[in-house]
């Protein structure tokens, strides 16, 4: 990665400062967060980041493109839409986002009317995932709340998440926003939500047990 000039620079010959030159401005990491579930159209990004202006989103995407963190391409027909996606350099930010998310969960507290979209829980779910427990046939797991959903495909010890409803999920977790958010903060909270029935589960019992084990909610 050969960093390009940015509008505001710390002008420090320091790796941390250089990284923050690229991703440290407001909204930038949230754009990266949105791109982790796959390519997105400009309108998808705008809808997935409440509060960001069109000009700000365009500026942040430009910085990410110039620094080879994201790229823009046109999907082949019949879609023929322009989308943004992370490059290999951008993909390497996932551990940073995971650790930042873990740290932020300690500060999250109870929701007080802030904007929330269920796909924002995809990163905590990926963080909870235990690849060493993911042996067996592939599974599609869906998380639902208030008519919205995201789903995860688990296969070969890996997990991939995508926004929206899956065609035929094997296991479905459903609950109110606060329950799902708190369950993603702590495995003990998730276990309690399951035990109390505040987080509903649908699917084959064997598949449900496998998913709980993969997420570290049920001990093997």
Same domain, 192 and 137: yes
Residues 6+ apart with CB under 8 A from 75: 39, 81, 82, 83
Tell me the angle at which helices 28-35 and 15-23 cross, rounded to the nearest 10 degrees: 80
Residues 6+ apart with CB under 8 A from 69: 22, 23, 32, 86, 87, 89, 90, 93
The CATH number assigned to the domain holding 160 equals: 3.30.1050.10
10-residue mean pLDDT profile of the chain (220 residues): values are: 67 95 96 92 95 97 97 88 96 93 81 88 89 94 94 94 94 88 74 85 93 80
pLDDT at 193: 85
Please count the structural domains in the chain.
Answer: 2
Same domain, 71 and 131: no
Q: Which domain holds residue 85?
A: 15-92
**Residue 5 CA from chain centroid, whole number:** 28
Same domain, 81 and 132: no
Same domain, 153 and 74: no
What is the DSSP pairing of strand 158-163 with strand 171-174?
unpaired
pLDDT at 7: 61
Which pTM value belongs to this model? 0.84
Same domain, 124 and 205: yes
The CATH number assigned to the domain holding 61 equals: 1.10.10.10
């Amino acid at each position: 990665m050969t960093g390009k000039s940015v509008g505001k620079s710390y002008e420090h010959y320091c790796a941390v400062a250089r990284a923050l030159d690229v991703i440290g401005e407001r909204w930038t990491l949230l754009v990266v967060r949105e791109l982790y579930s796959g390519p997105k159209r400009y309108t998808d990004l705008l809808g997935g980041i409440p509060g960001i202006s069109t000009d700000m989103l365009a500026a942040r995407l430009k910085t990410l493109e110039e620094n080879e963190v994201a790229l823009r391409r046109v999907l082949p027909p019949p879609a023929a839409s322009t989308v943004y996606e992370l490059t290999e350099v951008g993909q390497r930010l996932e551990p940073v986002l995971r650790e930042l998310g873990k740290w932020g969960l300690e500060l999250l507290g109870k929701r007080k009317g802030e904007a929330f979209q269920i796909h924002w829980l995809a990163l905590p779910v990926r963080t909870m995932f235990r690849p060493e427990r993911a042996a067996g046939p592939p599974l599609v797991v869906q998380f639902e709340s208030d008519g919205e959903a995201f789903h995860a495909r688990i296969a070969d010890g890996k997990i991939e998440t995508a926004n929206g409803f899956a065609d035929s999920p094997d296991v479905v977790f459903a609950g109110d926003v606060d329950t799902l958010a708190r369950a993603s903060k702590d495995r003990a909270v998730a276990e309690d939500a399951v035990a109390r029935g505040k987080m509903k589960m649908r699917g084959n019992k064997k598949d449900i047990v496998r998913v709980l084990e993969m997420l570290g909610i049920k001990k093997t």
